Amino acid sequence: MKNTILILSVFVLITCYFAKQYNTTDAMSLTNQETYNPDSITFSGKSNEQLKAEAEAGVVESQHELGVNYYNSGEPVTARIWFQKAAEQGFARSQNELGLLYLDGEGVTCDRNQAAMWFEKAAEQGHAGAMNNLGSIYAEDEDYEKAVAWFERSAGKGYIEGLYNLAMCYLEGKGVEQNKEKAKQLLKSAADKGDYISAYALKKLDEEK
């Protein structure tokens, strides 16, 4: 699963792109972006044997962590099985991860509709990354009004990619009235959380004065 998926072309601050979330299954080596991820979780550090016993008993947190471990070990097929079990019990983090697997076609046949369905289930429970991911799918389909609605919800939770994507919508006037100052405010919020891409974008905007 890719860390970041670019939906439109990388910009010279003229063309925007939309970024899906940094994959939380890579949380064993946290980046600055993931440090500020409001959906991040603390892993137990239990062995797979311990986790599997709990997971088979229906403990969703253990199902999810087992999925993370299998994914990070290069076994996306097995990871998908455990994410699916937790997702079907309504565990938002696993629903989001399952959506990413479907979107990337890892451990499962690529299916954007399935990805969107799982992102929406997680988003409706308040998962900021899933909100951003769902918005990115709408943006890819050029349904910018819906994209903006989800980016706004993600940004409202302080999610870095949601802030950045919403800024790009304001900068380009996609699904919202163009507003460069609003875009800069959103980029600054993301940059203040350590996002170097937003910091670079903000710098380029300031240089245009």
Question: CATH code at 113?
Answer: 1.25.40.10
Q: First and final CA of the chain: distance in angstroms?
A: 39
Residues 134 and 205 in one domain: yes
Residues 100 and 152 in one domain: no
CB atoms within 10 A of CB 41: 13
Q: Name, of 12-21, 28-37, 177-186, the range with top average pLDDT.
A: 177-186
Within-domain flag for 55: yes
Within-domain flag for 158: yes
d(CA 126, CA 133): 13
User: Which of 126, 144, 167 represents a domain boundary (last residue)?
Assistant: 126
**What phi, psi does 111 have (nearest 5°)?**
-150, 100
Amino acid at 204: K
User: Which of 104, 126, 148 represents a domain boundary (last residue)?
Assistant: 126
Within-domain flag for 28: no
Residues 52 and 106 in one domain: yes
Mean pLDDT of the chain: 83
Question: What's the pLDDT score for residue 57?
Answer: 97
Within-domain flag for 92: yes
For 198, the domain range is: 1-22+33-39+128-209
Within-domain flag for 27: no
Please report which confidence band the pLDDT of residue 44 belongs to, taking 50, 70 and 90 as the band edges: confident
Residues 48 and 109 in one domain: yes
- Give the global pTM: 0.84
d(CA 58, CA 94): 14
User: Which of 76, 94, 126 represents a domain boundary (last residue)?
Assistant: 126
For residue range 46-61, list pLDDT tens digits in order: 999 999 999 999 999 9
Within-domain flag for 103: yes
3-state DSSP call for residue 163?
helix
Within-domain flag for 84: yes
Please report which confidence band the pLDDT of residue 12 belongs to, taking 50, 70 and 90 as the band edges: very low
179: its two tokens? 């507003």
Amino acid at 181: E
Residues 132 and 197 in one domain: yes
For residue range 129-173, list pLDDT tens digits in order: 999 999 999 999 999 999 999 999 999 999 999 999 999 999 999
Number of domains in the chain: 2
Please report which confidence band the pLDDT of residue 206 belongs to, taking 50, 70 and 90 as the band edges: confident
CB atoms within 10 A of CB 193: 18
Residues 52 and 8 in one domain: no
188: its two tokens? 């600054």
Are residues 104 and 110 in contact, defined by beta-carbon separation less than 8 angstroms? Answer: yes
Amino acid at 34: E
pLDDT above 80 (res 25): no
Instruction: Tell me which residue has tokens 């875009």.
Output: 183
Residues 189 and 200 in one domain: yes
